[in-house]
Amino acid sequence: MNAVTSEAVFVEPQSIHQSHQSHYWQSHYWLGIDGGGTNCRAAIVDDDGNLIGEGRAEAANFIRVGLEAAINHVKQAVNQACAQAGIEPSEITAACVGLAGTSHPDHHRQMLAALKEALPITDITLETDARVALAGATGNQAGVVIIAGTGSIACGINTRGRFARAGGWGPTMGDEGSGSYIGRRALEAVMMAYDYRGEPTAMMEPVLHHFGVSSPPELPPVIYDEPDKAMREIAELSKIAVKAAQEGDRVAQEILKDAAIELAVAAIAVIEQLRMERDEFQVAYVGGVFEAGELILAPLREEIRHFAPKAEIAPPIDPPVIGAVKMAKSLYAGKFE
């Protein structure tokens, strides 16, 4: 995780539901943004903790979509949230922007500079999407979050304020258990079934249809001629794998089980780094992969509890975008007291 971020983010913030303070001379609006490899969400909260505006746009991971597209998508989400809230972007007091692809210091500096140029907001903090997910998932308390959407990462913080992470290295070097991982495994299963190297799978026809081809030998040009586009489309195959698994396809079920174990391994790595294996804490889960329900959660729960028996595997307290709002408020509210 980049060295630019501050551990002060995780100091217990004032409650987002706290009433308006009499010493605030004017209304304040706190903006949170959560942007990953699939979409970008924005939320605006007022002094009384009311969610007054929300916005949504496409992917904001600039490593995958490019800096210009990522910034445009952030602006779209912010403008939509502001329109719903009935305010101008310039009226926002402070913002915390959580984006995938910003863990490297160079990427962090580049994106933060672009955000400050694009948004008329005086106080902007840039974090990774994992940081804001952790803040939302555990309510800024000690705990762990597993994020599994297009990519995957686990991170956590202990009672001493120490932060640790595992995974999050992208589809080429990592992202085990993610939508990209599940989609790639589904694609492999189709090719293996075609070659008689693997079991037949119900995923065959849906995968071919997804790529607009009629037989597996037609897939290589689609996959290799436009690798960036193909990478996004492969991640979308995870939905096909989940549907097939729910309908009893053994190959798809095994893929999801393997994905769950990979996600558990990442969470356990974080727990071990933080020396939390004997503690009581929440392991929250965030991201589209968990829409598979118990097909993912059951093996995940079993693996984690074998290592950390007191861990509670549970849904997040708040979504990542609200985690970002809380981080913005905890960082900047003191300036206006």
Assign 3-class secondary structure to 272-334: HHCCCCCCCEEEEEECHHHHHCHHHHHHHHHHHHHHCCCEEEECCCCCHHHHHHHHHHHHHHH
Residues 238, 327, single domain; the answer is no
Owning domain of residue 296? 140-316
296 and 330 together in one domain: no
Give the rounded percent of residues in the chain with a pLDDT score beyond 90.
68
16: pLDDT strictly greater than 50: no
Q: Based on the domain organization, do 126 and 144 belong to the same domain?
A: no
Average pLDDT over residues 206-210: 95
pLDDT mean across residues, the chain: 88
| Judgement on whether residues 282 and 164 belong to the same structural domain of the protein | yes
Q: Is the dihedral of CA 170, 165, 258, 300 positive or negative?
A: negative
Residues 115 and 153 in one domain: no
For residue 1, being part of any structural domain is answered with no
Sign of CA dihedral 161, 101, 172, 213: positive
The reply to whether 250 falls in a domain is yes
Question: Looking at the structure, do residues 295 and 323 belong to the same domain, yes or no?
Answer: no
**Structural domain contains residue 2:** no
Shared domain check, 77 and 182: no
Asked if residue 252 is part of any domain, the answer here is yes
In a domain, 126, yes or no: yes
Write out the two tokens for 263: 């996600």
Residue 334 pLDDT class (50, 70, 90 cuts): low
CA distance 39 to 73: 8
The string of pLDDT tens digits covering residues 244-295 is: 999 999 999 999 999 999 999 999 999 999 999 999 999 999 888 999 999 9
In a domain, 268, yes or no: yes
pLDDT at 86: 93
Q: Do residues 180 and 86 both lie within one domain?
A: no
φ/ψ of 52, rounded to 5, equals -110, -10
pLDDT (0 to 100) of residue 215? 93
Q: Are residues 154 and 119 in the same domain?
A: no
| pLDDT given at position 138 | 85
Quick one: pLDDT band at residue 1, thresholds 50, 70, 90? very low
Whether the predicted pLDDT of 228 surpasses 60: yes
Structurally, the chain folds into a number of domains equal to 2
Residue 185 lies in a domain: yes
If asked whether residues 166 and 285 sit together in one domain, one would say yes
CATH of the domain at 218: 3.30.420.40
